[in-house]
A and B are shown apart, each in its own frame.
Chain A
Amino acid sequence: MDAAVPLFHVEGVSKRYGGVRALEEADLSVYSGRVHAILGENGAGKSTLIKVMAGVVAPDKGRMTLEGREVSFPDPAAANRAGVVCIFQELSLIPDLSVADNIVISNPPKRFGLIDRRAQRRMAEEALARAGGEDIHPMTPVKDLPLSRRQIVEIAKALARQPRILILDEATSALTAADVTKVFAVLKRLRSEGLALLYISHRMHEIAEIADECTVFRNGRNVATYRAGTKTDNEVVEMMIGREYSHVFPPKPAAVPSDKPPILEVRNLSWTQRLRDISLVARPGEVVGLGGLDGQGQRELLLALFGVLKGVSGEMLIDGKPAPISSPRVAKSRKFGMALIPEDRKTEGLMLPMAVRANLSFAALDRLSSCGVIDRPAESASVQDMIKLLAIRTDGVDIPVGSLSGGNQQKVVIAKWLMVTPRIILLNDPTRGIDVGTKQEIYQLLRKLADSGAAIIFYSTDYDELIGCCNRVLVLYDGAVKRTLVEEEITERALIASALNIAADQGDAGIRPAVSA
């Protein structure tokens, strides 16, 4: 780039985990007053690199310099003291402590040796305001906040530490579009204040908006560094995956005729204040999308269908017959054949320390056992089939699933549910934080499942996915369906407008009037 001295410089850093090379002679220079984006598939070494920079893991080899002086960080606290603060993908908040407690956690204000609660409150409010979270009460316990608010708290917490280098690892993955705009305004201000920002994201348009320079990682090495805006999206993606990038979304087949009997029909479903009078129909071969801003009841709708919520009113029919689904166990039974791919694979989808084999067969154990004894050969055969079908990259079936990369973990979650051959597949934002290559495989799989006669209900926070995958999209707002977009009506403009519950695009063809609340 130019001759300026980098604020932070990483040189020849290598790191191995067991036999896996996570980083291989990686270099990176970070400058004050710039946003540096890091791109790469999951498993490309981005996460390991920032863990090294933030003192979470020690590198096997290589050196780091801060303003020309060599540094090493034995733990995250040491990195923080040097001004390197990282917002991790896995949130580092303490669930039982309040927002304010969390924001000041590494260095609470003290008076006479004790924590000064009034000063803490003030610091927390300031930090929240800087991070665009004025609506969050500083005394709320973090565990009571939704994911997107927690991420704002996480950013506020980082800012309260007065960083010189701020690393954001997928920090916006749980944020709504409105929140991202706010956060970007904050980041741009920090950049003008002279901070060095390191930005890791899978969302290309975010990188295009904020980055000054970009570095692409592949297989643990930095393969290219370039000034933002000098490469096209296709070129960048090609550098990331090292292969031709085309046809992200498989072609959609002709629309399913509306007289075809639905597998799933829901009438007037309501639950507390969160879901209001939702009706929907899903026919075999259809991918029905759920759109809208994050937290408008999409997650609750999926949970309600899957029998997780109590006190749901309304009617639910499967194959035209009433389906009293009172628990996930009933939902997945042969009679109903439902599957739910959950939002948080680490807690709801996988038993991380258990083997890949065990994780894959959990949902289908009743089918793989006779008289309560698991038929090991049958289990192995189905497990192998699934690994092949989804191209799960794993060192055998007996290693803990926690040691796979994020994308492969998500494939295991999906494969686990395919083992029960479901007819109704509910997906809750299944591609969040997953690399492009795996996303593409998941889209193709969804289409294949639909073509083989399954009905798919697909919630995604990524509008491109809804546009590329869905036959119909129900846009939710405040727990109710505000609008249904069909086939070519599904455009980014229509999705955004109806998500915000505004009628900005009434001029478009085929718009149904928004139902007023």
Chain B
Amino acid sequence: MRDWRYRFAEQRGTPLAVAIFLVMFVIYVSNHPAGFTANVVQTAANKGVILAFVAMAQTFVVLTAGIDLSVGMIFILTNCLGSYIVTGSMGTAALGVIGVLVVGLVCGALNGLIVIYGRLQPIVTTIATGSIYYGIALWLRPQPGSSDDFNSDIADFMTSQLPGGIPMSLVALFVIVLVVWLPFRRSEVGRAVYATGSSEVGAYMSGVPIRRAKFAAYTLSGLLSAVGGLYFTFITYSGVASFADGGTYTLYSIAAVVLGGVSLFGGVGSAVGAIFGALAFRTIGDLIFVFDLEPLWQTLFQGIVLLLAVCIGSARLFQVRNRLELFT
């Protein structure tokens, strides 16, 4: 019983993100003209998972008390690359998918190496590398487009409805959580990531492999950004080097992470929380649609909801009787 409570306290942010998402999603479907149907869910899921993947990517780095401003640009680069190499037969397309993921991984690893061995601040490093990644994307796809033999079958499948109306994109998200996040959470390097973010000095003094932890975090961040980029390709059947999209996804990934209860100071939070933070953040945009408001209002509402959610998250501070605890 006590153990259970400790485990719950450790994950405090996640249920809040789930609750915010559920409330908004219920408002959304109950006001949607079509109601709660498989098609509505599928469309929402396809849009939501893209940000969910990028938010997951951001989570790894934020847990180390860093920040990755290149996630959006890796996302755009892999989107453009996907429109070139996910082509031909199922076999060659699968190779293309692997190629895209490897490129994302390499981009992330590069970030990690610069942060670790260049001893540069993560924020500056990733602004710089992000610009480079965007430059490559621009070289690949200055205009929207895709290869003539782009394999749309794989794209259709990955965004389809499975029997029972379950969207394939959610299954993909679930699988990624299962094969990436859960093992990470229970691995030695995963714990090292949490330790590094919580107290780097303490981690060093305890002989924790800090470099390996950071390298893993940035590399996984690159990989997950690439998964997001790939999904973007699957949904749009094309790639385009949109600087605005890259910037937006980067900033939204940070918003989603915060909504999901991941501490920007590092060491606290979970990718599952960040995923629900991303889904909730996405639903705000959909709400604008069902209430038939000016799309211009979308960012305004997203901002308000983000502020409110963060306020709820810090409501416990009102109960603090010792003011020194406000600062820890």
Interface residues of A (CB under 8 A from B): 56, 75-77, 80, 88, 90-98, 101-102, 105-106, 108, 110, 113-115, 117, 137, 139-141, 143, 157, 271-272, 300, 303, 308-311, 327, 348
For A102, the chain B residues whose CB sits under 8 A away are 206
The contact sample of 9 A-B pairs, CB cut-off 8 A, is A94-B194, A96-B268, A102-B206, A106-B206, A108-B188, A139-B3, A143-B328, A303-B322, A309-B321
Q: A88-B205, A141-B10 known; A115 and B321 CB under 8 Å?
A: no
For A80, the chain B residues whose CB sits under 8 A away are 207
Residue B191 interfacial (CB < 8 Å): yes
Q: What is the CA–CA distance of A152 and B195 in the complex, to the nearest angstrom?
A: 19
Write the B250-289 contact mask toward A (1 if CB under 8 angstroms, else 0). 0000000000000000011000000000000000000000
Please provide the 3 A-B residue pairs with the shortest distance between their CB atoms, ordered closest to farther.
A77-B207, A92-B205, A96-B198
Write the B2-34 contact mask toward A (1 if CB under 8 angstroms, else 0). 110011011000000000000000000000000
Q: What is the CA–CA distance of A101 and B7 in the complex, to the nearest angstrom?
A: 13
Q: A97-B198, A108-B191 known; A272 and B6 CB under 8 Å?
A: no
Residue B202 interfacial (CB < 8 Å): yes
Q: What is the CA–CA distance of A196 and B209 in the complex, to the nearest angstrom?
A: 27
Shortest A214–chain B CB gap in Å is 26
Q: What is the CA–CA distance of A157 and B207 in the complex, to the nearest angstrom?
A: 12
B186 and A76 form a contact (CB under 8 A): no
A348 and B186 form a contact (CB under 8 A): no
Q: What is the CA–CA distance of A177 and B153 in the complex, to the nearest angstrom?
A: 73
For A309, the chain B residues whose CB sits under 8 A away are 321-323
Q: A75-B207, A137-B6 known; A310 and B198 CB under 8 Å?
A: no
| A86 nearest CB neighbor, chain B only | B205
Q: A94-B198, A115-B186, A308-B324 known; A105 and B191 CB under 8 Å?
A: yes
B208 and A105 form a contact (CB under 8 A): yes
Specify the main secondary structure of chain A where it touches its partner: loop
For A98, the chain B residues whose CB sits under 8 A away are 6, 10
Chain B CB within 10 Å — which of A76, A101, A106, A309 has the most?
A106
B267 and A308 form a contact (CB under 8 A): no
| B195 nearest CB neighbor, chain A only | A94
For A157, the chain B residues whose CB sits under 8 A away are 206
Task: Name the contact of A94 in the complex, choosing from B10, B186, B203, B320 (C-beta under 8 A).
Answer: B203
| A117 nearest CB neighbor, chain B only | B186
Chain A CB within 10 Å — which of B9, B198, B267 has the most?
B198
Residue B121 interfacial (CB < 8 Å): no
Residue B199 interfacial (CB < 8 Å): yes
Write the B287-328 contact mask toward A (1 if CB under 8 angstroms, else 0). 000000000000000000000000000000000111110001
Q: What is the CA–CA distance of A95 and B10 in the complex, to the nearest angstrom?
A: 12
Q: What is the CA–CA distance of A333 and B187 in the complex, to the nearest angstrom?
A: 53
A140 and B6 form a contact (CB under 8 A): yes
For B199, the chain A residues whose CB sits under 8 A away are 93-96
A76 and B207 form a contact (CB under 8 A): yes
Q: What is the CA–CA distance of A243 and B179 in the complex, to the nearest angstrom?
A: 67
Interface residues of B (CB under 8 A from A): 2-3, 6-7, 9-10, 183, 186-188, 191, 194-195, 197-199, 201-209, 267-268, 320-324, 328
Q: What is the CA–CA distance of A303 and B267 in the complex, to the nearest angstrom?
A: 29
Q: What is the CA–CA distance of A348 and B267 in the complex, to the nearest angstrom?
A: 22
Q: What is the CA–CA distance of A310 and B323 in the complex, to the nearest angstrom?
A: 7
For B6, the chain A residues whose CB sits under 8 A away are 98, 137, 139-140
Q: A97-B194, A117-B186 known; A76 and B324 CB under 8 Å?
A: no
A101 and B321 form a contact (CB under 8 A): no
| B263 nearest CB neighbor, chain A only | A96
A308 and B323 form a contact (CB under 8 A): yes
For B207, the chain A residues whose CB sits under 8 A away are 75-77, 80, 105-106
For A139, the chain B residues whose CB sits under 8 A away are 2-3, 6-7
| B196 nearest CB neighbor, chain A only | A94
11 new A-B contacts, CB < 8 A, other than A94-B203, A97-B267, A137-B6, are: A76-B207, A88-B205, A90-B205, A92-B201, A95-B198, A96-B197, A105-B203, A105-B206, A113-B183, A141-B9, A303-B322
Task: Name the contact of B191 in the complex, choosing from A93, A97, A327 (C-beta under 8 A).
Answer: A97
A97 and B322 form a contact (CB under 8 A): no
Shortest A95–chain B CB gap in Å is 6
Chain A CB within 10 Å — which of B194, B206, B320 has the most?
B206
For B205, the chain A residues whose CB sits under 8 A away are 56, 76, 88, 90, 92
B323 and A93 form a contact (CB under 8 A): no
For A110, the chain B residues whose CB sits under 8 A away are 188
For B201, the chain A residues whose CB sits under 8 A away are 90, 92
| A91 nearest CB neighbor, chain B only | B202
| A80 nearest CB neighbor, chain B only | B207
Q: What is the CA–CA distance of A76 and B267 in the complex, to the nearest angstrom?
A: 22
| A137 nearest CB neighbor, chain B only | B2
Q: What is the CA–CA distance of A392 and B136 in the complex, to the nearest angstrom?
A: 58
Task: Name the contact of B195 in the complex, choosing from A105, A140, A300, A308 (C-beta under 8 A).
Answer: A105
For B186, the chain A residues whose CB sits under 8 A away are 114-115, 117
Q: What is the CA–CA distance of A75 and B207 in the complex, to the nearest angstrom?
A: 8
A115 and B195 form a contact (CB under 8 A): no
Shortest A352–chain B CB gap in Å is 12
